[in-house]
Chains A and B, each alone.
Chain A
Amino acid sequence: MTENGKPKLAMYWAAACGGCEISILNIHENILVVDEVFDVAFFPCIADFKTKDVIGYPDGYIDVCLFNGAIRNSENEEMAKLLRQKSKIMVAYGSCAYEGCIPALSNLTSKDATFNAVYKENPSIDNPGGVIPQTEFKVPEGILEIPVFYNTVKSLDQVVEVDYYLPGCPPEPPQIWAVLQVVVAALLEGAPLPPKGSIVGATNVAVCEECDLKKDEKKITRFYRPYEITPEPGICLLEQGLVCVGPATRGGCGALCPQVGMGCRGCYGPLDGVEDQGAKMMSAIASVIDVGDYEGNEEKYEEKVQAAIDTIPDPAGTFYRFSMAHSLLKRARVDNGNGKGETE
């Protein structure tokens, strides 16, 4: 694309799944506006620009960079830094870039454990020599390189400065379109942008506000796994004992998952003022557990509470499903490489 005064757009994927690229295409016809307004400067998904092209751009050449995917390896980090240097506005697009998302679940295990499972132990592996990928490997023709796989998955803002966050896994197309309109207005008409560091394309209240299910008093005696009961339609899932992280999750998605009987898992991230989404949800869900009145026996009461809590499987993986990289503890402690965060 030649110099023609059009703002430049980049979209790059780090440790990502491609869902964010699809989400932006799911604004359907509105993609035409994006095409009319912008020139693409780097977008490996759909266009043939290479990394060396980006290296050759002057700093700040790219007006808006939509960066999705978590930082899992050294190439992800290098590209984040390169694109930050070459971009005026850097958007952490989607849950991975914002707070780690599903790849950050890997922070409950370790690189050693991962390589063991993936390259050595899995039932279909044929690897008697125990070969694992090497960042540098000599073949007869020369040296081949692949990036360093990090032990800990990071969010984008843990490696570069981020201007805006667009949450969701992936962000919902109507929200994306709303944000793009603001950006286009700013670029073409000088309209104001939100303050740096803002979370855009989402609301300031919990998912519950958008959810049509009827909410009453919450007194939960036990929790059920999604396959153990069929929820009654039209009634809050959490009240029926199905774990739903909606109360601790930022709205903007339309509460899509509860509408089909599946509890929210928190992909839009925490609400304003919350540092750790998982801790918040834990607090909320524990508070509404009801084991009946205290009858004078401390031990017995504690047992009842323990039994109720035991019906919640995998608290860490459930409450931090999307936000592990932004959690306070960030990763599990792995002393001896067993990778499961287990205590001795």
Chain B
Amino acid sequence: MTRITIDPITRLEGHGKIEIFLDDVGNVKNTYLQIPELRGFEQFSVGRPAEEMPRITNRICGVCPEAHHMAATKALDNLFHVEPPSVTKKIRELFYEAFYCTDHTVHFYALGGPDFVLGPDSPPAERNILGVIHKVGVEIGKEVIACRQRNHHVIKMLGGRGIHPVAGLPGGWSKSMSEEERQEIEEIARKNIVFALFSLSLFDDVVLANQAYVDLILSDAFTHQTYYMGTVDENNLVNFYDGKIRVTDPEGKEFIKYDAKDYATHIAEHVEPWTYLKFPYLKAVGWKGFVDGMESGVYCATPLSRLNASDGMATPKAQEAFEKFYETLGSTKTNGRYKPVHHRLATHWARLVELLYAAERMLELAIDPEITNPNVRTPITEKPDEGIGSVEAPRGTLTHHYKTDENGILTHVNLIVGTTNNYAPINMSVKKAAEGLIKQGTVITEGLLNTIEMAFRNYDPCMSCATHSLPGQMPLEVVIRDADGNQVKKLSQYIE
């Protein structure tokens, strides 16, 4: 038996390796995507004061700390039985939309983009943000940097720090928004909308207009039929900050809809000895292994899932984009709902639809007259005992579950993290891609192995790798100083 190892997998957040086993003939016998890392948050958080969790669980992921910060903050609301003031929920949601704007942008342009925009087996030296810029132009690169910069600025303004924010409190937020800040944020939200619309049209021009890419999206090697999970508001429209968790089946019917606090009734985690990560699945269906279909409890929680699990988007332009997405991919309506799209590479497109929604929602909140109300904290009056909070992390539904003693010191912590939801489907996708690509007599090239990695990448945009470099004619002057402040070198290009 031949064994091919890809170690480490790259262009995503976190550690992993793929083992591919070929039989004597040269076909794929099996694949395993192993996760070699575990830090142990669920155990070492025990003994910590619960109110520190927004600042501790931040460090689960430095790309999406805002997601953990928010899930933790909501779990604290539940733990202390306190309802934050209406303005606080709006500030939190606005902060969260800014986070989505920076995160989704970066994934599309720098992480998923290179494979998709350039093609899976393009030369590795080009297969990064650099190559994307070659294709789409340096101006776009500047826009990507600018988008990250302005949205991280909002995150810092509202959350205290650009990475690992600190403002979340049970029943509150540690600072309010001033009118000056609000105006700045409003302007930023408007720019975000323009950029999101542009990104969608870029997808049209570069991806959808290219038949080879369309074939790739629609190919069987990258298609799976699983259950889909996402959070929806009272109208069953996508909401990242709050709502009920809805799961639809592979044929598009609603399967369950539940409050975050009931997650353990519906979700269980399966353990395998060859990896540190666990495999969540739907309890009502059961764990049947790494298989697709109605009879398998495997489910997926990604931008694609959120769209599939919802009835639409809550803002107008995003709703238009949503309809175009389903119509273009050949989905029809049954009982008023679009049938799900099962093509995993379409997740990249779904991500851009969400980007547009995040930008529009950010503007809605930024012009809400209540948003500058200074009373952002509700006093705590009850003793803490148990609390569960969930949000949609960009990578999937994120749930924090805490139990404390009566002094609010944690006794138990359970976390189901966004990407974890997708671990089983990811394994399945990798295997299916490998089976489709490696057959008897296939020459194993670097590009082919990267194509197999692609099956992973569309699920896990947990890595922001903004810009790598921008060739072309961008005027720039940079002065480099040594430790004493003396100018050592001046670099400039295209400066007149």
Contacts and interface: CB of A to CB of B under 8 A. Distances in A.
A and B touch in the complex (CB under 8 A): yes
Nearest to B106: A25
Contacts of A46: 10-11, 110, 128-129, 463, 465, 468
A240 interface: no
Interface string A235-279: 000000000000000000000110111100100000000000000
B110 A118 contact: no
Interface string B404-441: 00011100111010000000000000000000000000
A17 B450 contact: no
B7 A51 contact: yes
B400 to A, nearest CB: 12
Contacts of B125: 1
Contact of A256 (B160, B467, B480): B160
A317 B55 CA distance: 12
A144 B18 CA distance: 10
B329 interface: no
B62 A225 contact: no
A167 interface: no
A221 interface: no
B469 A36 contact: yes
A132 B273 contact: yes
B43 A18 contact: no
A283 interface: no
A158 interface: no
Contact of B46 (A146, A181, A340): A340
Nearest to B152: A26
B207 interface: no
A119 B278 contact: yes
A102 B270 CA distance: 27
B465 A125 contact: no
Contact of B488 (A50, A191, A317): A191
Contacts of B34: 144, 146
Nearest to A147: B36
Interface stretch (A58-66, A82-90, A104-112, A210-218): A104-112
Interface stretch (B86-94, B167-175, B351-359): B167-175
B380 A191 contact: no
Q: Which of A108, A117, A186, A314 has the most CB of B within 10 A?
A: A117
Interface string A1-15: 100000000000101
B476 interface: yes
Nearest to B471: A35
Interface in B114-144: 124-125, 127-129
B160 A117 contact: no
Interface in A161-212: 169-170, 173, 181-182, 184-186, 188-189, 191-192, 194
A261 B175 contact: yes
Contact of A134 (B32, B274, B474): B274
Contacts of A32: 467, 469-470, 474, 476, 478
A30 B43 CA distance: 39
State which size class the interface on A falls in.
35 or more
B311 interface: no
Nearest to A340: B47
A305 interface: no
A329 interface: no
Nearest to A68: B62
A29 B10 contact: no
B466 interface: yes
B43 A142 contact: no
Given A33-B491, A51-B7, A17 B43 contact: no
Contacts of B96: none
A333 B366 CA distance: 51
A13 B166 CA distance: 23
A297 interface: no
Contacts of A262: 55, 160, 166-167, 174
B174 A25 contact: no
Interface in A121-147: 122-127, 131-134, 137, 139-142, 144, 146-147
A301 interface: no
A262 B62 CA distance: 19
Contacts of B263: 124
A93 B267 CA distance: 38
A109 B43 contact: yes
B464 A22 contact: yes
Interface string B142-165: 000100110010001001111110
A153 B80 CA distance: 32
Nearest to B167: A260
A312 to B, nearest CB: 10
A134 B462 CA distance: 26
A21 interface: yes
Given A113-B43, A191-B488, A50 B7 contact: yes
7 contacts: A127-B271, A144-B32, A185-B488, A186-B482, A226-B51, A317-B49, A317-B52
Closest 4 A/B residue pairs (Cβ)? A19-B62, A35-B469, A260-B160, A141-B21
Interface of B: 1, 3, 6-15, 19, 21, 29-30, 32, 34-40, 42-49, 51-52, 55-56, 58-63, 65, 76, 80, 110, 124-125, 127-129, 145, 148-149, 152, 156, 159-164, 166-167, 169-172, 174-175, 263-264, 267-276, 278, 280-281, 283, 287, 377, 380, 401, 407-409, 412-414, 416, 450, 462-470, 474, 476, 478, 480-483, 488-489, 491
Given A17-B58, A146-B275, 11 more contacts: A16-B62, A17-B63, A31-B469, A73-B36, A124-B264, A126-B268, A126-B281, A185-B481, A186-B482, A189-B489, A317-B47
